[in-house]
Amino acid sequence: MFKSILLSTVLIAFLSCAPATDTQQVTRVTRQQHTVISDNHPITVWEKSAPSATESILLVHGRTWSAVPDFDLQVDGEELSLMDGLVEQGYAVYAVDLRGYGATPRDSTGWLTPDRSAKDIASVLSWLAQQKSWTTPPHLFGWSMGSTLSQLTAQRNPDLISSLTLFGYWRDSDQQFPTEPKAYPEPLKSANTAEGAASDFITPGSISQQAIDAYVRASLEADPVRTDLRRYDQFNELDPAKVTIPTLILQGEFDPIGPTEIQTKLFVRLGTSHKQWVVIKGGDHAAFMEKPREYFIHSLVNFLKGVSIK
């Protein structure tokens, strides 16, 4: 297993959190920045944890934007952060910036591949398991491209993970990508755009313009340059039958990237009998930041609690 070493902790921002239970007092939680070494490369991991957390979850972002704008968006007068919502439910929440995203630098190749991503996620999971005497191994949550990267990680490392949650799952399970050359071309390093940052918010009235504007600003600040990905043929390794841990599929009702046909094949073919499929009414590809957020978090936490029943 890859070496994982905690190098630094940086306190970033304060926020108020509601009680996770009827008896838990309101606390103030910080977002902390950690550096984990994976195959001699620094990987940034963000943390927000309930003080009495006994279980942890790792969040994996999608194709274009990194962990902080995706999972910890802060907007005055609005509750949009998935990290905050899970902290309120008593969890220790971690989110990774993969290579080339957010606070994690590119490596010498300038590119990111599915194989490299899965290995880095496994390194972070191994590091996370050592941070505290958790009652269970970490849970793993992947959004959009992160869902397929998380599945690849789970197929290879089921012993590192208590459960797998896939949201915005985009790949048809029958899809095969053509083999790409192994040689690395020069990365494009094209600029990200405000239009691209706002493109996932497709359901009218599901999120305020103030929140969309905040997401665009946060995304372009964290990821001004688009990360270059290649070797999509490595996704051909994905096989739902090889997923043997408890798995939750979350689908936004209006998500064009993860339609019902794709989720049906995935659900039916999963190798685990402990599986659930929840459609988030009124949700699209960014449902956990929109009006269905409360139901999204309820559905996720309900599944996690079921996984933890002995």
Q: Are 165 and 246 in contact (CB under 8 A)?
A: no
Residue 88 confidence (pLDDT) = 97
Distance between CA atoms of 263 and 244, rounded to whole angstroms?
17
User: How would DSSP label each residue in 133-155?
Assistant: --SSPPEEEEETHHHHHHHHHHH
Residue 2 confidence (pLDDT) = 37
CATH of 10-308, one of 3.30.2010.10, 3.40.50.1820, 3.30.1120.10, 3.40.50.720: 3.40.50.1820
Q: Which residue has the tokens 């940034």?
A: 44
Q: Are 280 and 253 in contact (CB under 8 A)?
A: yes
> CA 287: distance to chain centroid?
13
The encoded tokens of residue 206 equal 């599901």
pLDDT along the chain (310 residues), means of 10: 36 35 53 98 98 98 98 97 98 98 98 98 98 98 99 98 98 97 94 97 97 98 98 98 98 98 98 98 98 98 94
Amino acid at 246: P
Helix (H, G, I), strand (E, B) or coil at 198: helix
Q: For residue 273, give every residue at least 6 positions away whose Cβ sits within 8 Å of its Cβ, in sequence order, or none.
A: none
Helix (H, G, I), strand (E, B) or coil at 210: helix
Residue 244 confidence (pLDDT) = 98
Residue 10 confidence (pLDDT) = 32
Q: Which residue has the tokens 């305020």?
A: 208
Amino acid at 239: D
Q: What residues pair up with 75 in beta bridges, in sequence order?
A: 78
The encoded tokens of residue 184 equal 């690395």
DSSP state letter for 79: -
Residue 310 confidence (pLDDT) = 72
Q: Are 68 and 96 in contact (CB under 8 A)?
A: no
Residue 28 confidence (pLDDT) = 60
